[in-house]
A and B are shown apart, each in its own frame.
Chain A
């Protein structure tokens, strides 16, 4: 009964039905393989560890609009107030928020002459104080933190010290310690690395340089602040911060309270959207393909009722009839899967060529074909069970 040759030749003779099914499977495999590849790529991207205590950091913006405010002084007073609030583990000013999609970035040179020296990759440039490491919740793996008396208010200070991420250290100085090394920003500006942190992502989640970040010892009196506290305290803390800071100086706007977790979610929103839409596509595609399969099998059964009856009369068991239909559709599915797999790779190449996508991993077409086989089994067995129940008496009835 599982003789494949007669099944193949009968498939080849009945033209359009199997060909349509084949085309459908080919296209489905091509789409599903690429879509699930992209889905997985995005999910992996979203699951990356930022190294930062995302949940615990509450951020907000202060906008001082009174021209008479001494911004430098006000910044120091504000931070002191923040640290004195209940449940606050740490607080620091910053020039940019991690994972937010906006901020400062730069490249530094390994030598004084910008024309000849090698340069670092693009790095996210945080400015902070001795409190910044604790506020971020990142771990120092080498060297030391800033001392309080090393913190400057001047972005252009000649005594800039750096804390850098391990990823950056390994990239720039692969087999040696980064601590104590010097980098140049322009011809005359030297900066010194004093410590290496385990992991601390920058601001641009789509950048390949996301893992390269530095912190400079500058207490930046811009407008962003970070307060670290247990998430459950955030709501109460928000009001406490507002009250305390507005009492200190009312000529300002304080807003944009959000945790880094929320900031991160916003940054990954487009990817999440992509994942959602593509997942919808994959599910619907499988559904449609299986419905098409079921419909086709039902049609075949109707058309071949008499033939099936004859087979039964000639001694075929119900199982034989079932496996006849399964074999028939498995053949279509495997042939479609093979062609579809090739098409998937071609489509993947097109996508890679025109868009910023990595090369399609071959495991995806393979998994998709396996998935298709499963779908085929379900979609065929349901109607084919009906076929198996056709009575042998059908052979003698003329319909």
Chain B
């Protein structure tokens, strides 16, 4: 479903060239739950930005659903973000002036859905995350975990092909983190592909598949069959 081939991303300043990603290769299958780990500065965020079409890359190819989406112009990239990708951020990034329903509605607005369709989807998405009764609340009136659930509802409302989650539980206490994680797993079970960036090995272990990025390259990947993998643990330690 998602394939990256030999992606390179170079940041240039007057003095130095930094390779954030070098010959980065990755393929994600439909319905997978992929955890991306790696030490800070390894290129996790760059990967996320490129996968989410928030940034371009220097060279390489990026296929989504078999279509090459390298070097799209801004409008096309925005449309793909809107239709195919759902974002979940560590800081939730809800718009503080909008109530929950309006926050969830934002991507639907840009998609150009009718008012009726928007209403239906907002309701469905918020009910899915268990906040159907709080549509008129403002984000500031909610706990962190609830806010993150709203953000998930916002990501789901557009029925994306995959979710990109960036440290989704990083700002939450452990109880809330577990609830959010369970929600993500349920969503994955329902068929949505999820790519999650995290530095928490505990969380990563819960994914079907782990990918580690070190120095801008995919260092190793292992298919999990629900169990644990020691090899990844050692790699983790080696890297840190």
Q: Do chains A and B touch in the complex (CB under 8 A)?
A: no
Residue ranges of B at the interface with A (Cβ–Cβ < 8 Å): none
Residues of A whose CB lies within 8 Å of any CB of B are none
